[in-house]
């Protein structure tokens, strides 16, 4: 038993050492640094909620040196921020081919300027499919972590005991536990940020609430309209009941977001509303969600 424990301990230490070669400390907020990961050559990803300023950002590299970093863009919806640095650093190790299973051990590796590499271990406590965050973004998988996330852990790399990258850690997307932002989500978001500087999300400009209809179906009643928003411009009125969008029945706001993900900004989407008990077809041009919404 002692030999087995020693072997496990050595394997964990090796996984931390390997992953730590790609982990930096990010200095972009008061008091505490956060962590970040060299995702590609010259590109660092970190947790967006830890970026409190857009200028004078520095990172502490794996060799202990400090280097300036430029914010390429960020996405509050998925809590991903992308930094660009001129300093070279080894990209994170091979990505895991599939999401982990509940009960698998996981390590979160961060870095601070003072203590260097730091690690925390726990288990993956829950995994599910595509998950929409309370901030409006979509993660390819919901991966809940049962481990301690210290103040500087957000943005650190989450790896399996074999050293395969699961994603990066964040404490901002769930009120009950830390979450791993999956590597596939980071790739998707980073690609868009590096290409466009931001992630565009569809927007109708409506405040909605589910309602029961007389035929036992459900719809969404329009309670508010953003002035000059896409829905208002298309002729939607307060009191209209939205029953279909893009050819799909809708009875909660997640349905709306699912449809908007299939219709890029600038594309027309057909809506069906009930107004005074009469069905009406309205074509809405999808707008871009304002930053901060």
Task: Delimit the domains of the chain by residue range.
Answer: 1-198, 202-288
Q: What is the pLDDT of residues 28-75, one digit of tens each?
A: 999 889 999 999 999 999 999 999 999 999 999 999 999 999 999 999
Q: Do domains 1-198 and 202-288 have the same CATH topology?
A: no
pLDDT bucket at 110, cuts 50 / 70 / 90: very high
Give the pLDDT score at 200.
86
Q: What is the pLDDT of residues 193-227, one digit of tens each?
A: 999 898 888 899 999 999 998 877 899 999 999 99
Asked if 146 contacts 122 with a C-beta cutoff of 8 angstroms, the reply is: yes
CATH of domain 1-198: 2.40.10.120
Average pLDDT, the chain: 92
15-19 mean pLDDT: 92
Asked if 73 contacts 66 with a C-beta cutoff of 8 angstroms, the reply is: no
145-164 mean pLDDT: 94
Is the confidence at residue 293, as pLDDT, over 80? no
Give the pLDDT score at 95.
82
What b/e string do you get for 266-284 counting C-beta neighbours within 10 Å, with b at 16 or more? Answer: eeebebbbbeeeeeeebeb
pLDDT bucket at 123, cuts 50 / 70 / 90: very high
Asked if 154 contacts 170 with a C-beta cutoff of 8 angstroms, the reply is: yes
**What percent of the chain is modeled with pLDDT above 70?**
99
CA distance 130 to 125: 16
Give the pLDDT score at 117.
95
Is this model's pTM higher than 0.75 or not?
Answer: yes
Give the pLDDT score at 214.
85
Is the confidence at residue 129, as pLDDT, over 60? yes
Please give the angle made by the CA atoms of 218, 221 and 223, to the nearest 5 degrees: 155
Q: Which CATH architecture describes the domain 202-288?
A: Roll (2.30)
Give the pLDDT score at 292.
56
pLDDT bucket at 114, cuts 50 / 70 / 90: confident
137-145 mean pLDDT: 95
């Amino acid at each position: 038993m002692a030999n087995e424990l020693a072997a496990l301990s050595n394997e964990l230490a090796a996984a931390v050492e390997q992953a730590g070669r790609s982990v930096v400390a990010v200095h972009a907020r008061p008091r505490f640094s956060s962590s970040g990961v060299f995702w590609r050559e010259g590109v660092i990803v970190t947790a967006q909620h830890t970026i409190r300023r857009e200028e004078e950002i520095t990172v502490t590299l794996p060799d202990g040196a400090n280097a300036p970093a430029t914010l390429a863009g960020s996405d509050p919806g998925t809590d991903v921020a992308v930094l660009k640095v001129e300093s070279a650093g080894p990209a994170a190790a091979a990505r895991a081919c599939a999401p982990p299973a509940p009960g698998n051990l996981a390590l979160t590796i961060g870095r601070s300027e003072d203590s260097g590499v730091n690690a925390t271990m726990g288990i993956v406590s829950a995994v599910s499919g595509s998950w929409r965050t309370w901030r409006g973004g979509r993660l390819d998988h919901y991966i809940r972590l049962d481990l301690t996330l210290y103040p500087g852990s957000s943005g650190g790399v989450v790896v399996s005991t074999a050293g395969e990258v699961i994603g990066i850690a964040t404490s901002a997307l769930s009120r009950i536990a830390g979450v791993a932002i999956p590597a596939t989500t980071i790739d998707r978001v980073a690609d868009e940020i590096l290409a466009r500087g931001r992630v565009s999300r569809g927007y109708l400009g409506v405040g909605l609430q589910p309602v029961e209809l007389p035929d036992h179906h459900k719809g969404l009643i329009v309670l508010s309209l953003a002035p000059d928003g896409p829905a208002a411009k298309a002729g939607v009125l307060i009191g209209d009941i939205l029953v279909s969008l893009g050819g799909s029945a809708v009875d909660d706001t997640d349905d709306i977001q699912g449809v908007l993900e299939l219709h890029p900004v600038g594309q027309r989407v057909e809506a069906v509303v009930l107004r005074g008990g009469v069905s009406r077809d309205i074509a809405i041009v999808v707008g871009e969600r304002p930053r901060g919404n």
